[in-house]
Amino acid sequence: MMGEIKFIQGAITATHISELYEADAHNNTGAQILFTGKVRPDVINGEKVSAIEFTAYEPMVEEQFKLIVEEIKSEFDVLSIFLFHSLGNIKANELCMAVFVSSAHRETAYKASKQLVEKIKTDLPIWGKEIFETGEHQWKVNKI
Amino acid sequence: MKITVKYFGVLAEKMNRSSDVVNIEEGTLLSEFLNRWENSFDVKFKVAVNHKFIEEKALEENDEIAFLPPFSGG
């Protein structure tokens, strides 16, 4: 289905990823791009990030995502768009986001995927709290 | 009339709760309501009403106002 979004409690696993490919299996697409976002064990002022706790304003994320999908569809000839985003505590090196785009040809799929990931980062009301090994935390700020 | 105010991310942490039900006078404008919050937080935030970004409206019963600090998903 075009433009589906799903929140996953906890980390995104290989099972979730295979769901994406199964969902697109019969779409007659030629190019599939999967972007996955991973919790990076950043070291900030000498302290290591051990996890990120994600929260979201879920009904608004869903509405905003529909607008993003409309924008991408109007600009690119894409066949499917999926977003899985984690909620809750995700440990360093685990996956917290999967963005899947398919199209007939790779050029369109690459471009649509890049634009989609950027829009997800800037337009969706989702927040990450970086938890340090010491138990302290700080609110994540997205970098370009 | 009653409206709901929701806090997210660092704002929920600062408020120590995620929402409040607030009694306001009928016909209160969004901007008037927001003026009461001026300088309440040292964090920049955007405001959504009923899940949408809007500039101005006369608030209505059961409206849901959300205070949204900078997003950091993905």
Per-residue confidence (pLDDT) for residue A144, from 0 to 100: 62
| pLDDT tens-digit series, residues B38-56 | 888 888 999 999 999 999 9
pTM of the model: 0.95
The amino acid sitting at B38 is: E
Chain B CB contacts of A63 under 8 Å are: 51-52
Strand partners, A89: A53
Q: Domain containing A83: what range? A: 4-139
Q: Which of A60, A124, A141 sits opposite B66 (nearest CB)?
A: A60
Q: Which of A59, A60, A97 sits opposite B74 (nearest CB)?
A: A97
Confirm whether A49 is domain-assigned.
Answer: yes
Q: Do residue A127 and residue B6 have CB atoms under 8 angstroms apart?
A: no
ipTM over the 0.90 cut-off:
yes
Chain A residue with minimal CA distance to B51?
A60
Number of domain units in chain A: 1
Q: Do residue B71 and residue A126 have CB atoms under 8 angstroms apart?
A: yes
Per-residue confidence (pLDDT) for residue A141, from 0 to 100: 86
HSE-up of residue B14 (Cα within 13 Å, Cβ side): 16
- Rounded distance between C-alpha atoms, residue A144 and residue A84, angstroms: 20
Q: Which of B52, B68, B74 sits opposite A120 (nearest CB)?
A: B74
Interface mutation vs chain B, best among A57, A84, A116, most B CBs within 10 Å: A57
Contacts made by residues B43-50, CB under 8 angstroms, sequence distance 24+:
B43/B10, B43/B11, B43/B14, B43/B69, B44/B69, B44/B70, B45/B11, B45/B69, B45/B70, B48/A57, B48/A60, B48/A125
Q: Which domains does chain B have, with CATH numbers?
A: 2-68 (3.10.20.30)
Per-residue confidence (pLDDT) for residue A142, from 0 to 100: 82
Question: pLDDT tens string for chain A (144 positions)?
Answer: 578 999 999 999 999 999 999 999 998 999 999 999 999 999 999 999 999 999 999 999 999 999 999 999 999 999 999 999 999 999 999 999 999 999 999 999 999 999 999 999 999 999 999 999 999 999 998 876
Residue in this structure with the two tokens 């969902």, named with its chain if needed: A23
- CATH number where A54 lies: 3.90.1170.40
Confirm whether A55 is domain-assigned.
Answer: yes
CA distance A110 to chain B (A): 18
For A116, the token pair is 């989609």
- Average pLDDT in the B8-13 region? 97
Chain A CB contacts of B52 under 8 Å are: 60, 63
User: CA distances (Å), A30 to each of A3, A85, A108, A118, B14, in order?
Assistant: 18, 25, 11, 23, 49
| Mean pLDDT for chain B overall | 95
Q: Do residue A96 and residue B74 have CB atoms under 8 angstroms apart?
A: yes
Residues 6+ apart with CB under 8 A from A67: A123
User: CA distances (Å), B59 to each of A101, B26, B36, B53, B66, in order?
Assistant: 39, 7, 14, 14, 13
